[in-house]
Chains A and B, each alone.
Chain A
Amino acid sequence: MLDAYHDSRLSRALIWTIASIVLMFLMLPTLIVVPLSFSASDLLEFPPKEWSLRWYETFFASAAWMAALKTSLMLGALTAVIAVPVAFLASIAINRLGFPLAGGVYAFLLTPSVTPGILLAIGLFVVLAKLGLIGSFIGVLAGHVTLAIPVAVVVLLPAVNRFDWQQAQAARSLGAAWSGVIGRIIAPQLSLSLVAAGLMAFLSSLDEAVISIFVANGPNTTLPKLMFISLRDQIDPTIAAISTLWTLFVGVVVLTLNMRTTNA
């Protein structure tokens, strides 16, 4: 875009310098935690004087952390498994219903994303309290699924819109019922987007902190909630180890997804 200004060296250098600084700013906190997680001491000294894996050991040895990890992973998996089909069907509905119904449904399904988390958290807390479901797995799951639905819809709706609906019409003319069309014709062709939506839903659940803080208690404490509590109390280098593992995990997931989409 700026090829007309290839001579404005100084100005362009300025822009690129600011851009690089900002990029470093964005990556700094995620990266800084990695070497710390390998530090032998429990003081936050940088660079670490001695290297050790003790914080990783502490993490994997701690019953509390492992329980939280297990809860978070299960929640994430179930959130994805529930939210994606639900969002997929809703996306198809939005595509087929057309204005004005489609707009209304879309806006409605987006509300969990635009509503401040704290409101959803305390509201959900009350509803669950009335149902006696505070601290239950299913209570937290409900919250996570609700947050994941708009995330999945935002991924799936463009894919559904791009789909060649004449294929569906062809299938119908050949005698297929809608369930067959959706399951055998549409879904297989959108498999990449479905996987992407699933990963987004999984990650959004894994990262979800606000609702979990209010609603997930006791044996169903999630990983972020436990981290939040730890951070408020003291600076535990175990969190550095958890952070490094988390970043690694997400990095691998996002890169594989990106490679699959560019190769597709």
Chain B
Amino acid sequence: MSDPSLLREQRRERMFFLSLAAPAIILVGVAAMVPILWILRQSFLTLAGEATLGNYEKILSSGLTWSSLVVTLELSLSTLALCMVLGIPLALALASASRRVANLALILIMLPLWTSILVRTYGWLVLLRKDGLVNTTLASLGLTDQPLPLVYNFTGALIGMTHYMLPLFVLPVYAAMRDIDGNLVRAAASLGAGFWRCVATIILRLAFSGIASGSMIVFIYTLGFFITPAVLGGGKVNPIAIRIERTLSTFQDWGSASALGMLLLIMVLIAGCMFFAIRRLSGERIRHA
């Protein structure tokens, strides 16, 4: 039998704690939720304020929309692929090193995260231009007779985005690999597994949740990327975020921009659900006993 005055006391305490979170909730609500909801609303309105599906019709029938969708997916998938190829060996090397060495390397890896994205993008411009460091080095080594077009195109945007997301990919993969019980690797070796066999059948499988987390972060973040493709793409690479900006800056078309924004949001949500499903399905097998 619950004492009503105790229940009241309990509820009062809950209210108190909820109120502690209130400033944060209000701030996020006003400066993030309201804008998003406003975009949602605007996507269904004409400029005059009447309800309509016209915005969606307009963007879905436009070739530019579809081409930007394709570019967005191309960029995100390529970035993810590159991050895996580069990031998994790096995480493996760190996980097999001593903690001291690994921590030092992690600081170096995290450092670019804290320097401005503009700084890094500028650095890539300097490196990748026709007269940049990469091309001049290649030419002086005699490997190329013509400068390679490495920037102001898809390649440049891809390199910049991979560079930005790589630390965020490596962290969860490294954490998952560190958690692997060393005896499991020893057991695999004692049973006869060679190095690569062990990596494939044991290490990568056990680090799967980390790889999935990292992949989710990379894919979802890159869907909405703006700065890097804008600076390094040279105007030729237009994922959906740039499409939205163009729609606004050139055409002042709030309706279309909002509809495109909702499209982006839907992509993010679908991607999120897919990754959660993958995590769920694999998590049922790998229970860390």
Direct contact of A and B (CB under 8 A): yes
**Which residues from B are CB-within-8-Å of A109?**
21, 24-25, 28
Interface string of B18-31 (1 = CB under 8 A from A): 10110111011111
Do A111 and B119 touch across chains, with their CB atoms under 8 A apart? no
Complex: A48 Cα to B189 Cα, angstroms: 52
Which B residues are CB-close (under 8 A) to A29? 112, 119-124, 126-127, 163
Q: Mark the stretch among A54-62, A93-101, A187-195 that contacts chain B.
A: A93-101
Q: Which residue of A lies closest to B243 (CB)?
A: A118
> Which residues of the other chain, B, contact A164 by a CB distance below 8 angstroms?
none
A92 contacts the other chain (Cβ, under 8 Å)?
A: yes
A210 vs B30: C-alpha distance in the bound complex, in angstroms? 18
Is A258 located at the chain interface by the 8 A CB criterion?
yes
Question: Do the beta carbons of A32 and B86 come within 8 Å of each other?
Answer: no
A116 close to B231 (CB less than 8 A): no
Contact at B32–A105, with CB atoms within 8 Å? no
Q: CB-CB < 8 A to A239: which residues of B?
A: 118, 122
B261-288 at interface with A (beta carbon < 8 Å): 261, 264-265, 268, 272
For the complex, is A75 an interface residue (Cβ under 8 Å from B)?
A: no
Contact between A89 and B24 (Cβ–Cβ < 8 Å)?
yes
Contact between A22 and B87, CB atoms less than 8 A apart: yes
Bound CA span A47–B43, Å: 51
| Set A33, A86, A207, A258: member contacting B126, Cβ < 8 A | A33
**Contact check: which of A23, A30, A46 meets B136 at CB < 8 Å?**
A46
Residue of B14, B89, B254 contacting most chain A CB atoms (<10 Å): B89
Residue of A whose beta carbon sits closest to that of B131: A44
B20 touches A232 (CB 8 A): no
Closest to A28 in B: B127
The interface residues of chain B, by DSSP majority, are classed as helix
- Quick one: which of B215-272 are within 8 Å of A by CB? 220, 223-224, 226-227, 230-231, 241, 244-245, 248, 254, 257-258, 261, 264-265, 268, 272
User: Do residues B123 and A149 form an inter-chain contact, with CB atoms below 8 A?
Assistant: no
Identify which of B1-9, B52-60, B61-69, B90-98 touches chain A: B90-98
B182 at the interface (CB under 8 A from A): yes
Contact B185 A1 (CB under 8 A): yes
Contact A149 B24 (CB under 8 A): yes
- B232 to nearest A CB, angstroms? 9
Assess A30 versus B112: contact at CB under 8 Å? Given A1-B95, A145-B31.
Answer: yes
Instruction: List chain B positions with a Cβ less than 8 A from chain A.
Output: 14, 16-18, 20-21, 23-25, 27-36, 38-39, 42, 86-87, 89-90, 92-96, 105, 107-112, 114-127, 129, 131-133, 136, 163, 166-167, 177-178, 180, 182, 185-186, 188-190, 194-196, 198, 203, 220, 223-224, 226-227, 230-231, 241, 244-245, 248, 254, 257-258, 261, 264-265, 268, 272
Known A1-B203, A87-B24, A119-B36; 10 more pairs at CB < 8 Å: A4-B185, A23-B108, A26-B109, A32-B133, A90-B21, A93-B20, A114-B220, A119-B261, A127-B35, A240-B126
State the A residues within 8 Å of B (CB). Answer: 1-5, 8, 11-12, 15-16, 18-19, 22-23, 25-33, 36, 43-46, 86-87, 89-90, 92-94, 96-97, 101, 105, 108-109, 111-112, 114-120, 122-124, 126-127, 142-143, 145-146, 149, 153, 178, 203, 206-207, 209-210, 223-224, 227-228, 231-232, 235, 239-240, 242-243, 246-247, 250-251, 253-255, 258
